Amino acid sequence: MDKYVCTVCGYVYDPDQGDPSQNIAPGTAFENLPDDWLCPECGVGKDMFKKQEA
């Protein structure tokens, strides 16, 4: 599963880790995050993330 980077603050969403601060379980792909999920570090929506280059 791909990692995604917040283009505003630099936070990296790692599907292996999930997002404990918003009760997102490890193993959740970025594409499967809820539509109202926000960057845990700066509050922007999913549309502000881009796939991390390998």
Partner 1 sequence: MNPNDLGTYTRNTWCPGCGNFSILNTMKTVLASLNDEGYPLDKVVLVSGIGCHAKIVDYLNVNSFYSIHGRTIPVATAIKLANPDLTVICHSGDGDSLAEGLDHLIFAAKRNIDITLILHDNRVYGLTTGQYTPTSPLGFKGKSTPLGTEELPMNPAELMLVSGASFIGRGYTHGIDLLKKLFKEAIMHKGFSFVDVLQVCVTYFNMYDTYNKRVYEVKDNDTSSFDEAMKIVRSWDYNSVESPIPLGKFYDRDLPRFDQVFPGYQPHKVDRDAEIKKMLESFI
| Residues lying near partner 1 in the complex (CB under 8 A) | 8-11, 20-23, 38-45, 48
What are the distances in angstroms from CA 1 to CA 5, 42, 43? 13, 23, 23
Q: Of 31 and 41, which CB lies nearer to partner 1 in the complex structure?
A: 41
Pairing type for strands 49-51 and 12-13 reads unpaired
**Smallest gap from residue 40 Cβ to partner 1 (A):** 5
Q: Of 20 and 27, which CB lies nearer to partner 1 in the complex structure?
A: 20
- Contact assessment for residue 9 and residue 42, using Cβ atoms and an 8 Å cutoff: yes
**Smallest gap from residue 25 Cβ to partner 1 (A):** 11
